[in-house]
Amino acid sequence: MSIRTIVVASTLSTLLFAGSAAAQQRHITEPSTIRQAVAGQAFTDQQNRDVVVNVLHQTQVRDLATRLGLNLTTAENAVSTLSSVELAKIATQARTADAQLAGGSNTVIISTTTLLLILIIVILVVR
């Protein structure tokens, strides 16, 4: 055998075995962990959407939206387009407004107005 053949053969075998060895490396995070995290975030997002939509269905919120000339159907549709971060922020305010509506607080108008203003801004940005 010539030196050239030996060099080519050893180079090829090194490349072939290095590829399969690299393919066997473990991932930093297991795929099941990633799937679980994604499912958990999707569940949290759905809970946040439900909270916001429930507040939009409140009689006081509908009355306020009517007085302000806002279309709650558009706002409700915009909720599904929000990112997880935006949704979490709005859901926090929606939970506060919902608690105040349930407790009969007089300051609910301020919280509801804030919620509606945020939704209006989101609607305008989405367009």
pLDDT at 103 > cutoff 80: no
Number of domain units in the chain:
1
Q: Could you tell me if residue 64 is left (phi over 0), alpha (psi between -120 and 50 degrees) or otherwise beta?
A: alpha
Show the domain range for 9.
Answer: 3-126
Q: What is the reported pTM? A: 0.61
Cβ atoms within 10 Å, residue 118 = 18
DSSP element (H, E) containing 89: helix 84-103
Q: Express each pLDDT in 35-66 by its tens digit.
A: 999 999 999 999 999 998 888 888 887 887 78
Cβ atoms within 10 Å, residue 83 = 10
